């Protein structure tokens, strides 16, 4: 954006430009077109300055967020910009702004997505835009880590793969990272966005109880692979080590990597 400002002095013209663009004068590129001339009777004429300023991507995103929130009825929302790895974090502040978070952060995620589109539409270089409000992201991270631990415990208890509800890539990464810290547990993602979800499995063998393994009818076999009111030992072993679920078997478009056996390596996790 370019604009010409005139004033009695060059400094005054630059100050006008800074106020117009609402940024520090150091961020504006100035070209002095005319300067007042000195005469015996003082200064004659005015200073004319061309000011050029291009908003940064975080500033574009912040302006977009404020505009949208005002249209939604929020009064005087503010956005504080800070640098993070690979981009910027836009912290939304103001009275009553917690209403923008939505159920489990869904509205905040949608606003983040739209703000990212607004910031990156000018060129092909992608710039990461992240949003937060009232410390929601940190609180949600703790909740997801606790959820991962509970689901691992459930998978180990029942000897089956446990499927979580669909999550966005950011939340799936938190789940995968938490599961990777737990011994004898693995996780992977299946499905297509926006219904992509995490599967959590245990790599432990089923517990051996006195007298054999417990069958569905509540009885135990003799520990020799025969049937005495329960499943054969080999059948139970095969079932317990099969980490596939009915969700995966019935899914119409499975990922190629999801057909591979789960090695439990975090490096092979598909987000």
pLDDT tens for 28-68 read 888 888 877 777 666 677 888 888 888 889 999 999 999 99
| Contact between 262 and 243 (Cβ < 8 Å) | yes
Task: Tell which phi-psi region holds residue 13, choosing left (phi > 0), alpha (psi between -120 and 50) or beta.
Answer: alpha
Q: Give the pLDDT confidence score for residue 86 in this predicted structure.
A: 86
Give yes or no for residue 178 having a pLDDT over 70. Answer: yes
Residue predicted with more confidence, 242 or 175:
175
182: phi then psi, degrees, rounded to nearest 5: -100, 135
**140-156 average pLDDT score:** 95
User: Closest Cα partner for 243 from 263, 270, 267, 268?
Assistant: 263
Q: Give the pLDDT confidence score for residue 206 in this predicted structure.
A: 63
> What is d(CA 248, CA 36) in angstroms, rounded to the nearest whole number?
77
> What is d(CA 134, CA 140) in angstroms, rounded to the nearest whole number?
11
Give yes or no for residue 257 having a pLDDT over 50. Answer: no
Residue predicted with more confidence, 141 or 41:
141
Q: Percentage of the chain surpassing pLDDT 70?
A: 74
Residue predicted with more confidence, 110 or 248:
110
Does residue 212 sit in helix, strand or coil? Answer: strand
| Contact between 88 and 130 (Cβ < 8 Å) | yes
């Amino acid at each position: 954006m370019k604009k010409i400002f005139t004033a009695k002095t060059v400094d005054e013209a630059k100050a006008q430009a800074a106020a117009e663009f609402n940024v520090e004068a150091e961020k504006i590129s100035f070209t002095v077109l005319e300067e007042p001339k000195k005469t015996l009777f003082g200064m004659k004429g005015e200073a004319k300055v061309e000011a050029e300023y291009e908003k940064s991507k975080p500033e574009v995103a912040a302006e977009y967020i404020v505009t949208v929130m005002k249209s939604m009825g929020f009064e005087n929302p503010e956005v504080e910009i800070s640098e993070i790895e690979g981009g910027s974090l836009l912290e939304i502040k103001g009275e009553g702004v917690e209403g923008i978070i939505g159920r489990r952060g869904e509205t905040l995620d949608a606003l983040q997505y739209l703000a990212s589109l607004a910031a990156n539409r000018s060129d092909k270089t992608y710039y990461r835009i992240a949003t937060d409000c009232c410390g929601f992201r940190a609180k949600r991270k703790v909740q997801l880590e606790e959820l991962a631990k509970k689901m691992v415990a459930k998978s180990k208890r029942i000897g089956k793969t446990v499927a979580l509800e669909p999550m966005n890539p950011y939340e799936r990464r938190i789940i995968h990272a938490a599961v990777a810290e737990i011994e004898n547990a693995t996780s992977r993602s299946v499905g297509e966005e926006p219904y992509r979800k995490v599967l959590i499995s245990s790599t432990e063998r089923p517990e051996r109880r006195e007298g054999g393994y417990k069958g569905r009818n509540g009885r135990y076999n003799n520990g020799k692979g025969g049937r005495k009111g329960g499943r054969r030992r080999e059948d139970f072993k095969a079932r317990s080590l099969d980490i596939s679920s009915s969700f995966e078997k019935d899914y119409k478009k499975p990922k190629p990597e999801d057909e591979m056996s789960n090695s439990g390596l975090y490096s092979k996790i598909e987000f």
